[in-house]
Amino acid sequence: MAKKKFVVGCFEDEAVLFPAVKKVRAAGYKIHDVYTPFAVHGLDHALGLRETSIHTAGFIYGITGTTTALSTISWIFTKDWPLNIGGKPHFALPAWIPIIFELTVLFAAVGMVLTFCYLCQLAPGVKKHHFHPRATDDLFVMAIECTDTTNTDDLQAFLQSNGAIELSVQVAEEGWWFGRYDNENVPFQNKEIVAA
Amino acid sequence: MHLKYESQLREPLVRGNKNYRQVTEDIVRPIEAKPTRLWYIGFFIAVALLLFGVYSVYREVTYGIGEWNLNKTVGWGWDITNFVWWVGIGHAGTLISAILLLFRQGWRTGVNRAAEAMTIFAVMCAGQFPIFHMGRVWMAFFVLPYPNTRGPLWVNFNSPLLWDVFAISTYFTVSLLFWYSGLIPDFATVRDRAFTKLRKRLYGLASFGWTGSTKHWQRHESLSLVLAGLSTPLVLSVHTIVSFDFATSVIPGWHTTIFPPYFVAGAIFSGFAMVQTLMIIVRKVFAMEDYVTLGHIEAMNKVIVLTGSIVGIAYLTELFMGWYSQNKYEGYTFWYSRAYLFSPYGWSYWGMMACNVLSPQIFWSRKMRRNVFVTFFMSIIVNIGMWFERFVIIVTSLYRDYLPSSWSVYYSPTIWEIGFYAGTFGLFFTCFFLFAKYFPVIAIAEIKYVLKTTGDGYKEQMSAIEAQPLEAFIKDQTHHH
């Protein structure tokens, strides 16, 4: 994967971050991502991200579970091995509802979590570039993708004037790779760190 | 941006005027510090109990169910009592993490992580009992429907016992996924501030490479909400199905339609009591009184008095129906085997009544709800009472049924039956001690999420805003984009 150059600005407060996001976008810069220590509501809209469809995926997995349970049980009890249970009907739908329900929930939950991990590229052993270690602690870290014409000094000054407390320019892989967090042989390099 | 507002009447969810960094520090501190002497003592007691349980199970597997005092007609005794008791305990975790999330109850954030952990460990303990009750435990996989060379001989999908297999395993899986997906961002927090290589590596693995990207958070929120929506009917279904194990039978005292709601209420009741027991210890040992406040304890005590009273109404309804149905077997079970104090097991019925119905009424008093010692004591009482409840249901219905000729002699457990139960306590607390040491016991990211809308600093700020004239308020608080 190609490396890219990013200008990174760190914010201390989400109340400062929101107007900054708006101004950076209005100025025509491309925000690669904003890394936050918790789910900041409304930030996805401020960044212009579309709504996630993961719940739709969950629904599809759910009905897959429903049909799997219903078709399997009815095949087993009416075709494959019809057991005579007290002379009751072989197709005993009411008695199957608990298992059908459980499998619906099971398929939906497992499918959604796997989809979530796939979409976000999360797995044990996956390593990603972290623009700032405090992004999981108390900083809101905005990474702006640079183009050939981006003047990084101007952009840093612009971020600083909008409340960023720490600035840096980093060249990094934007994707993920397999690696360990205790090894520092990571494919990125810190170009320069400008203290605000 | 929308205006965040929380009523002045509400108690802060987090005490003290904290910032994000302090929240991380407070919650991660036990992970980064060396375990205390108290932790080692508790952990070794738990492991010792677990080993005793392993030996008890070894005896049972080697010599058969005869190692327990189960006999005709008491074919279910302590084992199934313990199974139902442990499953019930698990329910509070899901209630806190899922149902209270859907109801937007902010106080869940302080206790949800530990409560979900409790759910998972409790379900692990519960599962042991029906598995080892099978006797030939090496054939336990026969409960799974898979194409086999015996016909294929399938499992009975119409049986509540098989519904239980599906319900409990689904419940365990979904709870685990819900819990772990919440843990990923917090593991990343621990990873990014780790100062030893080993910790960085292990939490690096555990955190799945989480970065905190906005898109990931958006999906994470959606995932949590849907998992909560799935877990809510799931948790109700689990204890409903457990109650079907009894309710679909024709045994007097079991054959009642009231069982599903009565079992679910009882499950939440005992589960909250267990959460109280654990959280009161955790908040004290890890100095987390700012996050698990008296407000949290009071809220849980309110749930306890509500569900305890629901359970009480169920007991009285059963007694009424025992008389009103004019069925002599029902009448005998409820009015002699259970409610008559001097019948062989009358003591267990009245123990149950005293622990579950009478004593929790103390929580109508606000002062008692906010008293940590009373709460801790009551949490133990409630769990003893709920154990009695399951014992009463199972044993008093089984030891004397339709035919006096098959009435059994007095059932009391053997040491290996008790040892098995003690062993599950060992398993539960071994897991819980490890959890408390190596996992963030409070959901860090969720606390940070509510931090700006609660706490003393926020209240002060809001008081100042409330004192403003309306015009100034509108001018200051509306953001124009």
Q: Judge contact between B445 and B109, C-beta under 8 A.
A: no
Secondary structure class of A113 (helix, strand, coil): helix
Task: Give the residue carrying structure tokens 């590229």.
Answer: A121
- For residue A19, cis peptide bond before it (omega within 30 degrees of 0): no
- Nearest residue in A to B170, CA atom: A106
* Residues 6 or more apart in contact with residue A151 via CB below 8 angstroms: none
Residue type, B294: L
Return d(Cα B147, Cα B212) in angstroms, integer.
44
How far is the alpha carbon of B248 from chain A, nearest alpha carbon, in Å? 11
Residue A188 has pLDDT above 70, yes or no: no
User: Which pair of tokens denotes residue B339?
Assistant: 């409610």
Judged by a CB distance cut-off of 8 A, whether residue B150 touches chain A is no
Phi, psi of A167 (to 5 degrees): -130, 150
The CATH number given to A3-49+126-195 is: 3.30.70
Return d(Cα B108, Cα B454) in angstroms, integer.
13
| Residues on chain A touching B160 (C-beta within 8 angstroms) | 98
- Name the residue among B203, B208, B231 with its Cβ closest to that of A126: B208
Q: Judge contact between B171 and B184, C-beta under 8 A.
A: no
Contacting B residues, span 166-195, partner chain A, CB-CB under 8 Å: 166-167, 170, 173-174, 177-178, 181, 184-185, 188-189, 191-194
Higher pLDDT, residue A116 or B14: A116
- Nearest residue in A to B1, CA atom: A42
pLDDT of residue A71: 96
pLDDT digits (tens, 9 = 90+) for B251-283: 889 998 999 999 999 999 999 999 999 999 888
* Residues 6 or more apart in contact with residue B340 via CB below 8 angstroms: B346
| Residues on chain A touching B193 (C-beta within 8 angstroms) | 133, 137
How far is the alpha carbon of B14 from chain A, nearest alpha carbon, in Å? 16
| Residues on chain A touching B203 (C-beta within 8 angstroms) | 181
Q: Using H for helix, E for strand and C for coil, what is the string for chain B?
A: CCCCCCCCCCCCCCCCCCCHHHHHHHHHHHHHCCCCHHHHHHHHHHHHHHHHHHHHHHHHHHHCHHHCCCCCCCCCCHHHHHHHHHHHHHHHHHHHHHHHHHCCCCCHHHHHHHHHHHHHHHHHHHHHHHHHHCCCHHHHHHHCCCCCCCCCCCCCCCCHHHHHHHHHHHHHHHHHHHHHHHHHHHHHHHHHCCCCHHHHHHHHHHCCCCCCEHHHHHHHHHHHHHHHHHHHHHHHHHHHHHHHHHHCCCCCCCCCCCHHHHHHHHHHHHHHHHHHHHHHHHHHHCCCCCCCCHHHHHHHHHHHHHHHHHHHHHHHHHHHHHHHCCCHHHHHHHHHHHCCCCCCCHHHHHHHHHHHHHHHHHHHCHHHHCCHHHHHHHHHHHHHHHHHHHHHHHHHHHCCCCCHHHCCCCCCCCHHHHHHHHHHHHHHHHHHHHHHHHCCCCCHHHHHHHHCCCHHHHHHHHHHHHHCCHHHHHHHHCCCC
- Asked if the B20-137+154-462 domain carries CATH number 3.40.50.80, the reply is no
Pairing of strands A166-173, A3-11: antiparallel
pLDDT of residue A113: 96
| Residues on chain B touching A112 (C-beta within 8 angstroms) | 223, 226-227
| Domain locations in chain A as residue ranges | 3-49+126-195, 54-119
Q: Using H for helix, E for strand and C for coil, what is the string for A46-89?
A: HCCCCCCCHHHHHHHHHHHHHHHHHHHHHHHHHHHCCCCCCCCC
Q: Does B214 sit within 8 Å of A95, measured CB to CB? A: no
Judged by a CB distance cut-off of 8 A, whether residue B147 touches chain A is no
- Nearest residue in B to A12, CA atom: B20
Q: Judge contact between A167 and A8, C-beta under 8 A.
A: yes
Output the average pLDDT for chain A: 87
Q: Does A42 sit within 8 Å of B1, measured CB to CB? A: yes
Sign of torsion over alpha carbons B101, B105, B106, B112: negative
Written as tens digits, the pLDDT of chain B (481 aa) is 334 556 666 777 787 778 888 889 888 888 888 888 888 999 999 999 999 999 999 999 999 888 898 887 888 989 999 999 999 999 888 888 888 888 888 788 888 899 999 999 999 999 999 999 998 999 999 999 988 888 888 999 999 999 999 999 999 999 999 999 999 999 999 998 888 888 889 999 999 999 999 999 999 999 999 999 999 999 999 999 999 999 999 888 999 899 999 999 999 999 999 999 999 988 888 888 888 889 889 999 999 999 999 999 999 999 999 999 999 999 999 999 999 999 999 999 999 999 999 999 999 999 999 999 999 999 999 999 999 999 999 999 998 878 888 887 788 899 999 999 999 999 999 999 999 999 999 999 988 888 877 766 677 777 777 777 888 777 766 665 5
| Domain locations in chain B as residue ranges | 20-137+154-462
pLDDT of residue B1: 32
- Name the residue among B153, B200, B231 with its Cβ closest to that of A182: B200
How far is the alpha carbon of B174 from chain A, nearest alpha carbon, in Å? 6
Task: Give the residue carrying structure tokens 């689904």.
Answer: B170
How far is the alpha carbon of A122 from chain B, nearest alpha carbon, in Å? 5
**pLDDT band (50, 70, 90) for residue A189:** very low
How far is the alpha carbon of A39 from chain B, nearest alpha carbon, in Å? 5
**ipTM (interface predicted TM):** 0.91
What stretch of H or E contains A101?
A: helix A93-119
Return d(Cα A118, Cα A113) in angstroms, integer.
9
Q: Which residues of B42-63 are buried (b: 16+ CB within 10 A; e: fewer)?
A: bbeebeebbebbeebbebbeee
Residue A51 has pLDDT above 70, yes or no: yes
Q: Does A80 sit within 8 Å of B223, measured CB to CB? A: no
pLDDT of residue A194: 53
Q: Does B2 sit within 8 Å of A42, measured CB to CB? A: yes
User: Which pair of tokens denotes residue B186?
Assistant: 């917090």
Longest dimension (CA), chain A: 83
Q: Does A134 sit within 8 Å of B192, measured CB to CB? A: yes
Q: Does B192 sit within 8 Å of A119, measured CB to CB? A: no
Q: Does A112 sit within 8 Å of B223, measured CB to CB? A: yes
Residue A190 has pLDDT above 50, yes or no: no
| Residues on chain A touching B222 (C-beta within 8 angstroms) | 52, 54-55
Pairing of strands A126-128, A176-178: antiparallel
Contacting B residues, span 341-400, partner chain A, CB-CB under 8 Å: none
Judged by a CB distance cut-off of 8 A, whether residue B211 touches chain A is yes
Residue A192 has pLDDT above 60, yes or no: no
Q: Does B209 sit within 8 Å of A102, measured CB to CB? A: no
Judged by a CB distance cut-off of 8 A, whether residue B218 touches chain A is yes
- Name the residue among B208, B212, B448 with its Cβ closest to that of A117: B208
pLDDT of residue B4: 52
In 3-state terms chain A splits into helix, strand, coil percentages (rounded to 5) of 45, 20, 35
- Name the residue among B20, B174, B205 with its Cβ closest to that of A125: B205
Return d(Cα B161, Cα B169) in angstroms, integer.
12
Return d(Cα A101, Cα B172) in angstroms, integer.
15
Q: Which is nearest to B18 in space by CA: B440, B465, B450?
A: B450
Judged by a CB distance cut-off of 8 A, whether residue B29 touches chain A is no
| Residues on chain A touching B147 (C-beta within 8 angstroms) | none
Judged by a CB distance cut-off of 8 A, whether residue B151 touches chain A is yes
pLDDT of residue A187: 45
Q: Does A40 sit within 8 Å of B217, measured CB to CB? A: yes
Q: Does B2 sit within 8 Å of A109, measured CB to CB? A: no
Judged by a CB distance cut-off of 8 A, whether residue B454 touches chain A is no
| Residues on chain B touching A166 (C-beta within 8 angstroms) | none
